[in-house]
Structure 1
Amino acid sequence: MGSGQVTDSSAPFDFRGKHVTVAGLGVSGVPAAKVLHGLGARVTVVNDGDDERARTQAAELETLGVTVRLGDGATLPEGTELIVTAPGWKPDKPLFTAAHEAGVPVWGDVELAWRLRDRDGRKAAPWLAVTGTNGKTTTVQMLASILRAAGLRTAAVGNIGVSLLDAVTGDEEYDVLAVELSSYQLHWAPSPRAHSAAVLNLAPDHLDWHGSMEAYAADKGRIYEGNRVACVYNVADKATEDLVRAADVEEGCRAVGFTLGSPAPSQLGVVEGLLVDRAFVEDRHRNAQELAEVSDVNPPAPHNIANALAAAALARSFGVSAAAVRDGLRAFTPDAHRIAHVADVDGVAYVDDSKATNTHATEASLAAYESIVWIAGGLAKGATFDELVAGAGKRLRGAVLIGADRALIREALARHAPEVPVVDLDRTDTGAMLQAVQEAQRLARPGDTVLLAPACASMDMFTNYNKRGDAFAQAVRELGA
């Protein structure tokens, strides 16, 4: 981990009269355009799409005096001095190539939020930031729950649905923000300097956007740059520790690990059913602080305990008490479709983890149960399943496969777990979920878990993973009716 004082590159930026182009409408573009317009910038919004939703958003902005160009996101508007982009726009788009050639800087909405966080003389709330391939949202929500239990004014913001821009420019004042950052957002945000930050894990994802695993990891690693107090990493995932070692941080910032095993000094971990801190205690070589019981984590699946430890580490870096960690974890309720217990029917548990849309998340989900009838499949997004199946094969009572790319999983099962009975449903209509649940019930025995952990995206059959999980829950309810 590099040392030495890091200077904050986010110098004040006077937007009055500046020509700013906002790339993309949607959940980040519209707020960015409104904020920039309010700061006196001359704002042009460019957007690839020209559908009904885009036209409605454009009409709203045009009433304020914002110029909107629909169906043309490739051309750099003449006179542009700054681009603020939606995080999902790929770096190789012609708009950004033109900006680079013209010497025009490109910021994301997170960069803009960082630059605006202490305007109007208001004290800026520090950021406790979280990224990783999986578990970001749950960890940030756990962290916010812990911070609230400590009596702090906070909010879970960023890639979680609450705009960072709204948080830093709104009327409400915060003591600290729990910030979820995606690799896309980090790519376009060179300046943010967190109080402390965590990278939960790293696995191949969004490589079509980043271009390579190395570029993806490098963007994730930006979250550690300039950290003041703690860089939190996953002891079981060496790549996260490597990112800490490569980071340039403020003098005195510490590397703090989390582990599902017994913690070494400067780590948080698990000892005899307890979450334990050996990082933020006096004489960490001899002492440890009990934070909570494993049973205080909901649900107490291994990967979720890891999330809780990461959240606890960030909270402890901010001076939060052990009692607040415990109370915050007890108060936390996970979002729907994240390893959610739906019902028990005839001695079989039915669990919805529709949010497990990649192999890394599904691996963690499968590791939480001993005997599983696995419902999987959908859009593979270029993923391969051999490693996943080889690791989980001994836990599988059976598998029911749905979706467009189910053959990839079927072939991996044939190679690595040929003894596992497989039902291959040759249909991609939404009604296939009821049949899948019925087939899973036929394969299951009392004590088993029927687990929807698709390892794939949902859009071949459902609008999103929420709709897929809802269909699973409804089918389970029909079993028990």
Structure 2
Amino acid sequence: MRDPHALGRTDSWEGVRAVVAGLGVSGFAAADNLTHLGASVTVLDDAEAEGERAEKATLLEILGATLRLGPGSTAELPEDVDVVVTSPGWQPDAPLLAAAGARGVPVWGEVELAWRLRHPDNPAPWLAVTGTNGKTTTVQMLDAMLRAAGLRSQACGNVGLPIVEAVMDPTPHDVLAVELSSFQLHYTSSMQCESAAVLNVAEDHLDWYSSLEEYAADKGRIYQDVERACVYNVADPVTEQLVRDADVVEGARAIGFTLGVPGVGMVGLVDDVLADRAFVEERRTSAAELCTVGDLASDAPHFIANALAAAALARAHGVPPVAVRQALREFRPDGHRIADLGQVGGVGWVDDSKATNPHAAKASLLAYESVVWVAGGLAKGASFDDLVEAARSRLRGAVLLGRDRDVIAAALRRHAPDVPVIDVGDDETGAMDRVVRAAADLAQPGDTVLLAPGCASMDMFANYGARGDAFAEAVDRRRRGST
């Protein structure tokens, strides 16, 4: 039996008995690299090995791992285990993880494993981002800024490469832009980022956490032992409090980002200019221009906020303003994030299927003046009252679908009773054609029909991308006159 806490990338892990919980993207990366290091690896997953998972399972077996897949495979922890590496999303009270805790077996996430496997001679610093919404866009912007500065950067973690693969790359990176979910942060203990940002904290995953405070506390773990900059959202007091509560390296700075005029030590907006008053020598009397709002792919407030947060992390790492500007001018968000689908009959259609919780949907709704809102799916225990109160003056109407559509309908009845609502049900067959027809009936020229569901998609669609694709295809059919 060997103590895995004492081992790193250049050590032999022979004799270490590791259990990897889950054969998803991060689970496969963890099992693959632990096997490579010499550990004895057992992978447990209740799902059957089919399709791509079957290929992964075969490859791991060739490498020497043991796999136990199918229903009931995770019910019991094997007898001789030195460490459990869990996939994100596994709750601490899952029988496998609870058994590990009862036996005193350490439980790591893939992020914790990755931190321990950094190369001792060239450990690329981590610039990390978390938050209820905006993580992926911010990390992608940050990665673009780092690359524009000539650095070998990699977006990884909850986006891009699994973080274990990024740190194990044989060609060292100069820096890593790391997206971290609350689930990933829950299972970290030794991570020390160079700089980190919490973009926002709002209701989400309350089917996983017992309270919003517990969820926020996991978000706040990203600030632990930060070396240079803790970036927070001036408009979200919870994020600032998380900075105040964190133990950081002496000399680390708190850097706020704001859609208002930035104070000293902040980044923000001066008229239509994204300005830096944090990383310039004469910051008490002047600011550095980073870019203009017109340089960005979208002038939606949450998109601007993401750009400011990314810029703060990049500037903390020493990226010059010219590289920030170049990256932001060239950056285009991934699909299903405020994606403009064009106009049909004088009405704009927008796919923001990535808005999978009320906070994200609220930010999207507030970017448009008059909206027919398409919403619904799996609410994950969230409330929609604050969203409806904030957006009701902008709502021309609402079209609801999915399992938890009644939760949204109830919020609309309470706070916007005059807004017309069309319920298209949860029948998957032809769902988005029904949605588009209903939305077109409610919309007037100059309105925007906005798919910002505020819910997860898996009740009716494989993922938020499939939901957005179905919406875009239905809009296109209406444009061609076939619906």
- Using the size of structure 1 for normalisation, the TM-score is 0.95
Residues of 1 paired with 2:407 and 2:82: CA distance?
48
One-letter code aligned to 1:274: V
Residues of 2 paired with 1:33 and 1:425: CA distance?
44
Residue 204 of structure 2 contacts residue 380 of structure 2 at CA under 8 Å; is this kept in 1? no
Cα deviation 1:103-155 (Å, max 9, x = unaligned): 21111111111111115x4x111110000010000000011111111111111
Residues of 1 paired with 2:5 and 2:329: CA distance?
38
Q: Give the structure 1 partner of residue 81 of structure 2.
A: 80
Q: Give the structure 2 partner of residue 202 of structure 1.
A: 201
Residues of 2 paired with 1:446 and 1:207: CA distance?
38
1:16 and 2:14 are equivalent in the alignment: yes
One-letter code aligned to 2:109: G
Equivalences for residues 121-200 of structure 1 within 5 A: 121=121, 123-200=122-199
Equivalences for residues 34-53 of structure 1 within 5 A: 34-53=32-51
Cα deviation 1:343-379 (Å, max 9, x = unaligned): 1122211100011111000000001000111111122
Residues of 1 paired with 2:342 and 2:177: CA distance?
32
Cα deviation 1:407-447 (Å, max 9, x = unaligned): 22222222211222222223422412112112212222221
One-letter code aligned to 1:294: V
Greater CA drift, 422-431 or 312-321: 422-431
Residues of 1 paired with 2:271 and 2:97: CA distance?
53
One-letter code aligned to 1:101: A
1:299 and 2:284 are equivalent in the alignment: no
- Secondary structure of the structure 2 residue equivalent to 1:307: helix
How far the C-alpha of 1:35 sits from its partner, in A, is 0.8
1:402 and 2:401 are equivalent in the alignment: yes
Report how many aligned residue pairs link the two structures: 471
Residue 203 of structure 2 contacts residue 358 of structure 2 at CA under 8 Å; is this kept in 1? no
One-letter code aligned to 1:269: G
Q: Give the structure 1 partner of residue 355 of structure 2.
A: 356
Q: Give the structure 1 partner of residue 95 of structure 2.
A: 94
Q: Give the structure 2 partner of residue 450 of structure 1.
A: 449
1:347 and 2:346 are equivalent in the alignment: yes
Alpha-carbon spacing, 1:332–1:11, altered in 2? closer, same or farther (3 Å): farther
- Using the size of structure 2 for normalisation, the TM-score is 0.94
Greater CA drift, 377-386 or 184-193: 377-386
How far the C-alpha of 1:12 sits from its partner, in A, is 3.9
Residues of 1 paired with 2:104 and 2:412: CA distance?
52
Residues of 2 paired with 1:157 and 1:86: CA distance?
15
Residues of 1 paired with 2:207 and 2:412: CA distance?
26
Residues of 2 paired with 1:274 and 1:56: CA distance?
50
- Secondary structure of the structure 2 residue equivalent to 1:63: helix
Q: Give the structure 2 partner of residue 5 of structure 1.
A: none
1:114 and 2:112 are equivalent in the alignment: no
Residues of 1 paired with 2:6 and 2:282: CA distance?
39
One-letter code aligned to 2:214: A
Residue 153 of structure 2 contacts residue 177 of structure 2 at CA under 8 Å; is this kept in 1? yes
Equivalences for residues 310-329 of structure 1 within 5 A: 310-329=309-328
Equivalences for residues 414-425 of structure 1 within 5 A: 414-425=413-424
How far the C-alpha of 1:211 sits from its partner, in A, is 2.6
Residues of 2 paired with 1:209 and 1:382: CA distance?
9
Equivalences for residues 62-77 of structure 1 within 5 A: 62-71=61-70, 72-77=73-78
Alpha carbon RMSD of aligned pairs, Å?
1.6
One-letter code aligned to 2:252: C
Residues of 2 paired with 1:296 and 1:172: CA distance?
33
Residue 11 of structure 1 contacts residue 115 of structure 1 at CA under 8 Å; is this kept in 2? no
Equivalences for residues 425-436 of structure 1 within 5 A: 425-436=424-435
Q: Give the structure 1 partner of residue 386 of structure 2.
A: 387
Alpha-carbon spacing, 1:293–1:420, altered in 2? closer, same or farther (3 Å): same
Residues of 2 paired with 1:365 and 1:37: CA distance?
44
Alpha-carbon spacing, 1:10–1:151, altered in 2? closer, same or farther (3 Å): farther
The alignment-based identity, stated in percent, is: 61
Residues of 1 paired with 2:42 and 2:373: CA distance?
49
Alpha-carbon spacing, 1:418–1:90, altered in 2? closer, same or farther (3 Å): same
Question: Which 5+ residue runs of structure 2 have no aligned equivalent?
Answer: none
Greater CA drift, 375-384 or 391-400: 375-384
Cα deviation 1:250-269 (Å, max 9, x = unaligned): 11100000000011111111
Q: Give the structure 2 partner of residue 3 of structure 1.
A: none
Alpha-carbon spacing, 1:319–1:11, altered in 2? closer, same or farther (3 Å): farther
How far the C-alpha of 1:98 sits from its partner, in A, is 2.0
One-letter code aligned to 1:86: S
How far the C-alpha of 1:65 sits from its partner, in A, is 1.4
How far the C-alpha of 1:55 sits from its partner, in A, is 4.7
Residue 376 of structure 1 contacts residue 399 of structure 1 at CA under 8 Å; is this kept in 2? yes
- Secondary structure of the structure 1 residue equivalent to 2:466: helix
Residues of 1 paired with 2:378 and 2:31: CA distance?
34
Residue 205 of structure 2 contacts residue 381 of structure 2 at CA under 8 Å; is this kept in 1? no
Residue 385 of structure 1 contacts residue 409 of structure 1 at CA under 8 Å; is this kept in 2? yes
One-letter code aligned to 2:229: A
One-letter code aligned to 1:21: V
